[in-house]
């Protein structure tokens, strides 16, 4: 029995896995794990809330290898400095993101700057940053690789550039923003300026833009898809379900929704 448990534990440590602590405009955090390497992408929650959410996924904050930050908006960066300082965790950002005032709270020896076009390695995971158009300084999204398979995260992106399309082609698994339904946004109660910001070229991806992106990948569709960063005001699961069924024949076993409240549970990249 003990051997069985050890075998199971070893197997889990070898798998390339991901899960989310929460996804949406009220806070984001995504975990990527391969072997003993455990990355947290963004931290938009308080220290107490982050610790609680990590524990709910079976993770002790001290296990984190690095915190990667996609961009300077508070739903992604708010909790980074306190988590890094409390548990002595290195932080990696683009130069542009590092210019945000929040990063002044991170001690210099923990703050690392990556080139937004150059792949780098953290432990057992390769990280390819992808520059994306969003209304902030030098936003990045990431493609992670381990043992020949890759996993992409793509949220907070105003529109799809040719570089994004090329970079994400070939990902086995994809965490992709489906922020809003255009009709719901335009008919909803957001002020005009905010509607324009969200729908603009430096805002967020609509359901239609996300589906178009999947259709136009230079490779087959990903095996696994997670719907990320959904607006609670301007979107609905039914609409997204309908679009994905109609265009891709995705079934419940290969796509799921990330929630604001508890993200989603550990998935193995396959």
Of the candidates 6, 62, 63, the residue with the CA atom closest to the CA atom of residue 33: 63
Range in contact with Zn ion (rule: CB under 5 A) among 84-92, 154-162, 243-251, 252-260: 154-162
156 contacts Zn ion (rule: CB under 5 A): yes
Q: How far is the CB of 242 from Zn ion (least distance, A)?
A: 24
Of 53 and 73, CB closest to Zn ion: 73
Q: Whole-number minimum distance, CB 115 to Zn ion, in Å?
A: 21
CB of 233: closest distance to Zn ion in angstroms? 14
- 17 and 33 in contact (C-beta within 8 Å)? yes
**Percent of residues in the chain assigned helix, strand, coil, to nearest 5:** 35, 25, 40
Taking the least distance from each CB to Zn ion, the nearer of 34 and 175 is: 175
Q: Is 181 in the site for Zn ion (CB under 5 A)?
A: no
Contact region with Zn ion (CB under 5 A), list: 31-39, 67-75, 109-117, 248-256: 67-75
Residue written as tokens 């178009």? 212
From 78-86, 100-108, 156-164, 165-173, span contacting Zn ion (CB under 5 A):
156-164
Q: Of these, 75, 138, 177, 181, which contacts Zn ion (CB under 5 A)?
A: 75
The CB-of-175 to Zn ion minimum distance in angstroms stands at: 13
**Chain position carrying tokens 């809003």:** 180
73 binds Zn ion per the rule CB under 5 A: yes
Q: Single out the segment in contact with Zn ion by CB under 5 A; choices: 11-19, 105-113, 141-149, 150-158.
A: 150-158
Site mask, Zn ion, residues 24-63, x = CB under 5 A?
Answer: ----------------------------------------
Report whether 175 contacts 226 (CB < 8 A): yes
Q: Which is nearer to Zn ion, 34 or 69 (CB)?
A: 69
Residues that bind Zn ion (CB under 5 A): 73, 75, 156
């Amino acid at each position: 029995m003990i051997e069985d448990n050890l075998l199971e534990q070893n197997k889990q440590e070898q798998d390339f896995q991901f899960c989310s602590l929460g996804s949406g405009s009220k806070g984001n955090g995504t975990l990527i794990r391969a072997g003993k390497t455990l990355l947290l992408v963004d931290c938009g929650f308080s220290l107490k809330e982050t610790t609680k959410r990590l524990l709910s996924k079976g993770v002790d904050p001290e296990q984190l290898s690095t915190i990667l930050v996609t961009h300077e908006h508070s739903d992604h960066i708010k909790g980074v400095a306190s988590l890094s300082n409390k548990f002595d965790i290195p932080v990696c950002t683009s130069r542009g993101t590092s210019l945000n005032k929040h990063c002044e709270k991170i001690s210099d020896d923990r703050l690392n700057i990556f080139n937004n076009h150059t792949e780098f390695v953290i432990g057992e995971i390769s990280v390819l940053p992808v520059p994306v158009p969003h209304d902030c300084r030098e936003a990045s999204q990431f493609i992670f690789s381990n043992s020949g398979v890759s996993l992409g995260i793509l949220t907070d992106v105003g529109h799809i550039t040719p570089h994004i399309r090329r970079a994400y082609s070939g990902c086995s698994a994809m965490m992709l923003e489906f922020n809003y339904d255009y009709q719901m946004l335009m008919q909803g109660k957001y002020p005009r300026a905010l509607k324009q910001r969200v729908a603009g070229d430096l805002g967020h991806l609509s359901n239609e833009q996300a589906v178009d992106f999947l259709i136009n990948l230079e490779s087959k569709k990903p095996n696994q898809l997670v719907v990320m960063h959904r607006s609670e005001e301007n979107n609905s699961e039914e609409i997204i379900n309908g679009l994905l069924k109609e265009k891709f024949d995705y079934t419940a076993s290969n796509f799921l929704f990330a929630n604001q409240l508890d993200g989603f549970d550990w998935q193995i990249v396959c």
